[in-house]
């Protein structure tokens, strides 16, 4: 078996951590049990480009239990957990191509190695596999039933390909399932982003001005948790509705040009590029801490920051201190890559449980129904989404009410008014 991991000797630690995550992934465990009995993915080759974490390991093992041949590479150069990569290879016999801190060339070399398996299904977190297939490996398209996509940024890229009639196979937008983005994007990003910032800096949040750029589901999560730690949270937005929502959720809203002057912490979660630019860095307080928790490392204009700086030094792991020409220092965390995975461990297993149950059942759906779909971006079928919510509630031991006959009839009628 070919693979490329940092150190296969790390596998024992990785295995323990994979098993620990599984304890908090009851929905995925049930999917795995069903897959083990029915083998719905028998003989299907799956190439996955995901953050190589303990939670992803449990997804990969679930797909393998379902009968799939799985190959995995990283969806970000800084998010790989090397012990997990080692254990997947050694203990679970799943080929992995991922090394934390790999350079861009190695990142793409790993993508090519994963695609060499000639997949029938691709699983992306950011659409890099689909993008490489459509540009450099068009020969693979004929083998592909479809793809699944984990994240908002990837879904945006894929919808743009579909709108331009370029997409050559169907894609299931796992991100758009309610059991994904309501939980993973909000509570997952909220907790893991704060975790990443704190592990990298060990700074006090209480009483600080914490600027969050973007008030989508991820931004909502980050603001909520920063407020919980006692920060004064400021939101920047370009969408009037989201800005209004942030105002009525009790946050100060202002342009980044104003927020730049008063923030102690800055975190971008917009999915767009150059959100914090040179002119903003130049206005920041001495010692400001800046990071990104959006998918790609494009949200901070680090080229502009470098141009405004006299020098840069590593202040501690995951912290680069830029000394500006105006004498102030700006600290950038995790090279502007998603901080929750760079300096922490990503979202906790309990939310990834639902995201990855969607991934596994999405793959199952593609095998069963892929040939009936056109080359477009689809949401996860509602029955699957609802079933995942039901299973999660059951696992949490929470019961809910059911409609009475009378209530059902009332909801289906229009006659009864005041
Ligand atoms: N994205 C965010 N957190 C993650 C995790 N723990 N595993 C895989 N992908 C993630």
Distance 42 CA to ligand 1 centre (A): 26
Inter-residue contact 66 to 361 (CB < 8 Å): no
Based on its alpha-carbon atoms, the radius of gyration of the chain, rounded to whole angstroms, reads 22
What is the position in ligand 1's atom list of the atom closest to the CA of 349? 6
φ/ψ (deg, to 5) at 309: -110, 155
Residue 139 neighbours by CB distance under 10 Å? 9
Cβ < 6 Å from ligand 1: which residues? 50-51, 53, 55-56, 188, 192, 341, 346-347, 352
Q: Tens digits of per-residue pLDDT, 339-348?
A: 999 999 999 9
**Does the CA dihedral 383-52-377-216 come out positive or negative?**
positive
Distance 124 CA to ligand 1 centre (A): 12
Burial profile 360-383: b = 16 or more Cβ within 10 angstroms, e = fewer = bbbbbbbbeebeebeeebbebeee
Question: Is residue 412 domain-resident?
Answer: no
Hey, which residues does 4 pair with through a beta bridge?
Answer: 97
Q: Are residues 197 and 145 in the same domain?
A: no
Q: How far is CA 295 from CA 163, 214, 270, in A?
A: 22, 13, 9
Token digits of residue 286:
């001495």
Q: Are residues 144 and 61 in the same domain?
A: yes
Query: Residues in the chain, how many?
Result: 418
pLDDT at 396: 96
**Does the CA dihedral 257-263-266-268 come out positive or negative?**
negative
pLDDT at 417: 85
Question: Is residue 414 domain-resident?
Answer: no
Distance 230 CA to ligand 1 centre (A): 26
Q: Tens digits of per-residue pLDDT, 60-87?
A: 999 999 999 999 999 999 999 999 999 9
Q: Are residues 165 and 237 in the same domain?
A: no
Q: Are residues 48 and 167 in the same domain?
A: yes
Inter-residue contact 226 to 233 (CB < 8 Å): yes
Q: Which domain CATH number covers 223?
A: 3.40.50.720
pLDDT at 418: 85
Hey, which residues does 49 pair with through a beta bridge?
Answer: 73, 124
Question: Is residue 336 domain-resident?
Answer: yes
Q: Are residues 43 and 147 in the same domain?
A: yes
Q: How far is CA 152 from CA 39, 203, 354, in A?
A: 30, 30, 16
Q: Are residues 114 and 248 in the same domain?
A: no
- Alpha carbons 144 and 169: distance in angstroms, whole number: 7
Q: Are residues 367 and 315 in the same domain?
A: no
Inter-residue contact 73 to 98 (CB < 8 Å): yes
pLDDT at 244: 98
Q: Are residues 115 and 158 in the same domain?
A: yes
Q: Which of 264, 260, 249 is nearest to 205 (CA)?
A: 264
Residue 404 neighbours by CB distance under 10 Å? 9
Q: Which residue's CA is the closest to the ligand 1 atom numbered 9?
A: 51
Token digits of residue 194:
């704060």
Per-residue pLDDT for the chain (418 aa), expressed as one digit of tens each?
Answer: 999 999 999 999 999 999 999 999 999 999 999 999 999 999 999 999 999 999 999 999 999 999 999 999 999 999 999 999 999 999 999 999 999 999 999 999 999 999 999 999 999 999 999 999 999 999 999 999 999 999 999 999 999 999 999 999 999 999 999 999 999 999 999 999 999 999 999 999 999 999 999 999 999 999 999 999 999 999 999 999 999 999 999 999 999 999 999 999 999 999 999 999 999 999 999 999 999 999 999 999 999 999 999 999 999 999 999 999 999 999 999 999 999 999 999 999 999 999 999 999 999 999 999 999 999 999 999 999 999 999 999 999 999 999 999 999 999 999 888 8
- Alpha carbons 301 and 86: distance in angstroms, whole number: 34
Q: Are residues 64 and 89 in the same domain?
A: yes
Q: Is 133 exposed, middle or buried (0-12, 13-18, 19+ CB in 10 A)?
A: buried
Q: Which residue, of 342, 377, 406, is where some domain finishes?
A: 342
The pTM of the full predicted model, rounded to 2 decimals, is: 0.96
Sequence-ordered list of residues with C-beta below 8 angstroms from that of 228, at least 6 positions apart, any chain? none
Token digits of residue 137:
């490996």
Q: Are residues 319 and 355 in the same domain?
A: no
Token digits of residue 205:
């949040």
Question: Is residue 92 domain-resident?
Answer: yes
Inter-residue contact 48 to 125 (CB < 8 Å): no
- Alpha carbons 253 and 276: distance in angstroms, whole number: 16
Q: Are residues 241 and 321 in the same domain?
A: yes
Pocket test for ligand 1, best of 18, 52, 53 (most atoms within 8 A of CB): 53
Pocket test for ligand 1, best of 346, 359, 360 (most atoms within 8 A of CB): 346
Q: How far is CA 368 from CA 69, 361, 413, in A?
A: 17, 10, 36
The number of distinct structural domains making up the chain is 2
pLDDT at 64: 98
Token digits of residue 413:
């009628």
Question: Is residue 269 domain-resident?
Answer: yes
Taking each helix axis from N to C end, the angle separating 104-115 and 128-135, rounded to the nearest 10 degrees, works out to 80
Provide the domain limits for residue 386: 8-180+346-395
Q: Are residues 111 and 199 in the same domain?
A: no
CA 405, chain centre distance (Å): 41
């Amino acid at each position: 078996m070919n693979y490329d991991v940092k150190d296969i000797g790390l596998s024992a630690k990785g295995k323990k951590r994979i098993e620990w995550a599984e304890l908090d992934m009851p929905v995925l465990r049930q999917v795995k049990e069903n897959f083990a009995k029915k083998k719905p993915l028998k003989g299907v080759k799956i190439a996955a480009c995901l953050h190589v974490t303990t939670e992803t390991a449990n997804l990969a093992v679930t797909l393998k239990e379902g009968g799939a041949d799985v190959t995995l590479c990283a969806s970000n150069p800084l998010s790989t957990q090397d012990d997990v990569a080692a254990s997947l290879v050694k203990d679970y016999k799943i080929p992995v191509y991922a090394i934390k801190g790999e350079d861009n060339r190695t990142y793409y070399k790993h993508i090519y190695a994963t695609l060499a398996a000639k997949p029938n299904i691709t699983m992306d977190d950011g659409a890099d596999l689909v993008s490489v297939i459509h540009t450099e490996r068009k020969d693979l398209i004929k083998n592909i039933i479809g793809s699944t996509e984990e994240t908002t940024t990837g879904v945006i890229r894929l919808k743009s390909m579909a709108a331009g009639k370029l997409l050559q196979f169907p894609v299931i937008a796992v991100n758009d399932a309610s059991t994904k983005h309501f939980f993973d994007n909000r509570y997952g990003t909220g907790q893991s982003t704060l975790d990443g910032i704190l592990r990298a800096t060990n700074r006090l949040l209480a009483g600080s001005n914490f600027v969050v750029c973007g008030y989508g589901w991820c931004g909502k999560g980050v603001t909520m948790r920063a407020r919980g730690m006692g920060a004064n949270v400021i939101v920047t937005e370009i969408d009037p509705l989201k800005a209004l929502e942030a105002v009525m959720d009790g946050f100060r809203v202002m342009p980044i040009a104003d927020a730049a002057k008063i923030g102690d912490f800055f975190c971008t979660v917009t999915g767009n590029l150059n959100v914090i630019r040179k002119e903003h860095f130049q206005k920041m307080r001495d010692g400001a801490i800046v990071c990104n928790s959006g998918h790609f490392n494009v949200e901070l204009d680090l080229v502009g920051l470098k141009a405004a700086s006299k020098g840069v030094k590593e202040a501690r792991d995951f912290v680069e201190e830029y000394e500006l020409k105006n004498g102030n220092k700006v600290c950038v965390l995790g090279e502007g890559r998603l901080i929750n995975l760079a300096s922490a461990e990503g979202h906790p297993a309990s939310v990834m449980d639902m995201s990855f149950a969607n991934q596994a059942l999405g793959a199952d759906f593609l095998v069963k129904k892929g040939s009936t779909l056109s080359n477009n971006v689809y949401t996860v079928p509602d029955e699957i989404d609802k079933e995942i919510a039901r299973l999660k509630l059951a696992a949490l031991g929470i019961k809910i009410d059911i409609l009475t006959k009378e209530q059902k009839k009332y909801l289906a009628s229009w006659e009864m008014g005041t």
